[in-house]
Each structure stands twice: as structure tokens, then as C-alpha cells.
Amino acid sequence: MAAAPGSGGRASPCACKGIRRCLTCEKLPLEGNCSKNMHQFIYDPEAKLAICTDATAASFPFPGVFLWENFISGEEEEELIRTMDQDLWNESQSGRRKQDFGPKVNFKKRKIRVGSFNGLPALSQKLVLRMQREPTLAGFQPVEQCNLDYHPQRGAAIDPHLDDCWLWGERLATINMLSSTILTMSLEQSPAEPGRSQDVRVAVQLPRRSLVVLYDDARHRWKHAIHRENISERRVCSTYRELSAEFSPGGQQAELGDQLLGIALSFKGTPI
């Protein structure tokens, strides 16, 4: 582990690198603060609209987000968390802890190594089958599961980002557990509609035990984040990712994709 800046060569007590930060290292000001020119919107899942919180801008359609409240029961949540906590949580950046069930990937070099990957965890099998009954997730076959643990005492957060599109496919599915939070969607450039500010944020409220799916523009155009101020108590989430077209039938790396899916859907996995 690299030494923290100004630590005199001592090992860093956290896993943050570059511009990442948590309460342990605190290298940057709170990223979640808003600029004066930023319009704030709240996502309405029934109307599928982004609604301006102060009426200074018009509401607009916000496709690409599907929310399934009470996707899991309280008993299922308790069993999932108990099982996760029996395994090792690894320190991650920005105050998070994680458990990975998936192949080892070097996204910069576009290299994939099966390594010790032995599948998604057993408890995920019934959850994946449940997801596939929803039309938005028809044919969804996840090849990777990432569990993340957020806690306010660590200043846990995840900065605005777009998930990789070389390996991961069209839909990202996340189960939100232990507490409610807000998924913040942000757009760096102004949408085509007239009168829209260049700085736009849309708050997607994630109830406890809900499932959220990002696809289309919400997957490829809008960055997503969980800001520190939206973590008030422990939150655990499981994100499931499917393969891109390159690794699917007819793609250039379909054979490797078949191998990865065969391992993933054995549901015999342990964290790597």
C-alpha cells in the first residue's frame, strides 16, 4: 500500500489513491458541495421525470432508470448481510469496503484473467432469477457482482463516474441494503433542450431493500455517484454487471464470454 502524501513514508491507513479521499486521509474539500449555477432535480419514478426542486428550470423526461421497491424482504436482507459479514471485506477507495465476485480485469490494457474467480455467490441465484422476470432485465445474465460497504464514520462515498463499456454491458443492477440513500446523476454538458443549465444533477432516491437499474442514457451519458452527505448510517449494496456485445454471442470475444458466464452462473463463488 502506498504511503500517504506528507506521511514521511509511513503506510497509508486507507485505500485512497490519486484524488480519492475519505475521512481518514481527507485530501480534498467535500466534493458533494454544489456550485451556484447548478440546477437540482429529483427523479419521479412514476412519471419518469426529473423535477426541479426550486422551479427555476423546467422538468424533463429522464429515461434509463428503473426502480423496484422492496425487491428483497427484510429476512432476505438479514441473510445477505450476515453472509457477507462472514467473509472478508477489503479496504477500497473513498472510505468504502468491497467484496468482488468476478474476473480480474485491467481496463486500461483491456486484459482479463479468470484467476481465482469461481462464480457469483450462492444466495444471488434466486435474486438473479427474480430480476429476469422484470421486462427491463429480460435476458439479464450477470458475470460480475461487487458488494460495497459504506459507513459515515469512514466518510464513505463514490465519485461521479461512468462504468466501463468495453467489458460491461447495457444494464447495471444494484440492490440497496441497510439504509436508504440518494444516487446522484450528473451531466457535465448541457442537454440539447433549450434553457437547460450546463450543470445538472438529478437525485434518485433509493429506498432500503430496493433494486435500481441504469440503462440507456442513464448508463452511458449521465455519471452516477453516492455523495458522503447521503450516507447517514451503514449502507451495503450489491451491483451486478452483464457482458458487453464484444463478449456476447456473435462478438469478437464470445468464447471468453461463454467461459466467464459459465463460471459466474455456477453460483459457487467466494470473494476474490
What digits encode the pLDDT tens for the residues 118-157? Answer: 999 999 999 999 999 999 999 999 999 999 999 999 999 9
pLDDT attached to residue 115 = 85
How high is the pLDDT of residue 13?
62
pLDDT band, very low/low/confident/very high, at 27 (cuts 50, 70, 90): low
**pLDDT value for 188:** 72
pLDDT at 179: 98
Task: Assign 64 a pLDDT band (cuts: 50, 70, 90).
Answer: very high
Distance CA 204, CA 21 (A): 23
Residues 6+ apart with CB under 8 A from 76: none
pLDDT at position 39, please?
A: 72
- Taking the alpha carbons at both ends of the chain, their separation in whole angstroms is 18
- Confidence grade of residue 89 (pLDDT, cut at 50, 70, 90): very high
Per-residue pLDDT, 53: 84
Residue among 71, 123, 126 nearest 269 (CA): 123
Instruction: Please give the pLDDT value at position 20.
Output: 58
pLDDT band (50, 70, 90) for residue 56: confident
DSSP bridge pairs for 105: 112
Cell triple for 255: 468464447
Burial class (CB in 10 A: 0-12, 13-18, 19+), 272: middle
Reading the block at residue 229, the C-alpha cell is 452527505
- For the chain, the C-alpha Rg in angstroms (whole number) is 19
* 75 vs 126: CA distance, rounded Å: 14
One-letter amino acid at 106 equals N
Q: Is residue 175 predicted with pLDDT exceeding 70?
A: yes
What are the pLDDT digits (tens) for 178-228? 999 999 999 875 545 545 545 799 999 999 999 999 999 999 999 999 999
Which is more confident, 139 or 31? 139
pTM here is 0.85
Binned at pLDDT 50, 70 and 90, residue 12 comes out as: low
Mean pLDDT of 162-167: 96
Check residue 263 and report its DSSP letter.
H
- Of 146, 160, 42, which Cα lies nearest the Cα of 103? 146
Q: Measuring CA to CA, which residue among 22, 26, 27, 23 is closest to residue 158?
A: 22
Task: Tell how strand 39-44 and strand 200-206 pair up.
Answer: parallel
CATH number for domain 64-99+141-251, candidates 3.30.920.30, 3.30.360.10, 3.50.50.60, 2.60.120.590: 2.60.120.590
3-class DSSP state of 95: helix
What contacts 73, CB < 8 A, 6 or more positions away?
209
Percent of the chain with pLDDT over 70: 83
Mean pLDDT of all residues in the chain?
88
Region for 267 from its dihedrals, namely left if φ exceeds 0, alpha if ψ lies in -120 to 50, beta otherwise: left
